[in-house]
Amino acid sequence: MTATSKSEVLAAQPRTLGAATARPPAAFRFAPLVGLTLFVAAWQLLSLRYPPFILPGPASVMARWVEKLADGSLLAHIAATLSAAIPGLALGALAAFALGMPIAKSPLADRLLSPFIVASQGVPFVAVAPLLFIWFGNGLGAKVLICALVVFFPIAINVIAGLRSASPILRDLFRSLGATPSETFLKLELPAALPFIFAGLRVGGTLSMIGAITGEFLSADRGLGFMINLGNGLYDTPLVIAGVLTIVLIALGIYGAVRLAERALRMARWAA
């Protein structure tokens, strides 16, 4: 084989690999649908063995979900939950950046602040939430703070790990070229940290729903947590399961939105 033919083969290999990865097999594409179908089938089979107030079937739950959607109450509960989850996610992410950046860049800040970050994860939020309601009242503010506390730890840890992931060789190169700290941060550390940051946001986005529901379990007159509590009190198991499934769908939607934002940012960087 000549040198020219070897180079042509090597040049063709990445394109072939890219084409293979760009078109996954049908089994891969339809795997989520197959998994969902198997889950619903197993649920239906199990529901035949128990009375409806213990485990209602998928059709019963869907009928209850459609009923609450038709009368507008489900959308009102979703809006109430998101009004705490989304601001809580934003507040927790801002706090994670504000503390994660100095910890990643300063050993002194690391020794001073890291114990508090770890301690924040060890706090039982169900125990702290009543204190927040005492200090900040039963309104939206306390629920937003609960969400922020829940999402803070995974985002902060990923921010710290991401900013520290930049190559030491590239750091030395930037230093030798006389780059300022802000230039090093914007052109080296932040791009290296973006995959970690988005990973933390994906985890935090799903956890934000847990924070919102925790607050609604303790004190609320609306929201998906309130709806689930109401269903428990009335032994309305279809309503409870419908609320839980709605929470899962919203969490998946937040996760997907963060993934789309990450993909859009990556494409914009490549285009630039």
Q: What number is the average pLDDT over the span 103-111? A: 86
Crossing angle (nearest 10°) for helices 190-218 and 73-105: 140
**Domain 56-271 in this protein, CATH class:** mainly alpha
Binning pLDDT at 50, 70 and 90, where does residue 203 land? very high
- Inform me whether the pLDDT recorded for 11 exceeds 60: no
Q: Is the dihedral of CA 260, 266, 270, 272 positive or negative?
A: positive
Q: In this model, does residue 94 exceed pLDDT 50?
A: yes
Considering the chain, what percentage of its residues have pLDDT values greater than 70?
89
What tens digit of pLDDT does each residue of 237-247 get?
999 999 999 99
- Other beta carbons within 10 angstroms of residue 251's beta carbon come to 17
Report if pTM > 0.85: no
Instruction: Map tokens 């197993």 to a residue.
Output: 42
Percent of the chain with pLDDT over 90: 32
Select from 83, 94, 210, 208 the least CA-distant residue to 139. Answer: 83
Sorting pLDDT into bands at 50, 70 and 90, what band is 88?
Answer: very high
Q: What are the start-end ranges of the H helices in the chain?
A: 3-22, 26-29, 31-47, 58-70, 73-105, 107-122, 125-136, 140-163, 168-176, 181-184, 190-218, 224-233, 237-271
Report the chain's mean pLDDT, rounded to a whole number. 84
Give pLDDT tens digits for 225-239: 999 999 888 888 999
DSSP per-residue codes, 174-217:
HHHTT--HHHHIIIIIHHHHHHHHHHHHHHHHHHHHHHHHHHHH
Q: Are 213 and 32 in contact (CB under 8 A)?
A: no
What residue segments make up the domains of the chain, in order of their start?
1-49, 56-271
The reported pLDDT for the residue numbered 214 is: 85
pLDDT, residue 47, reads 86
Give φ, ψ of 63 to 5 degrees: -65, -40
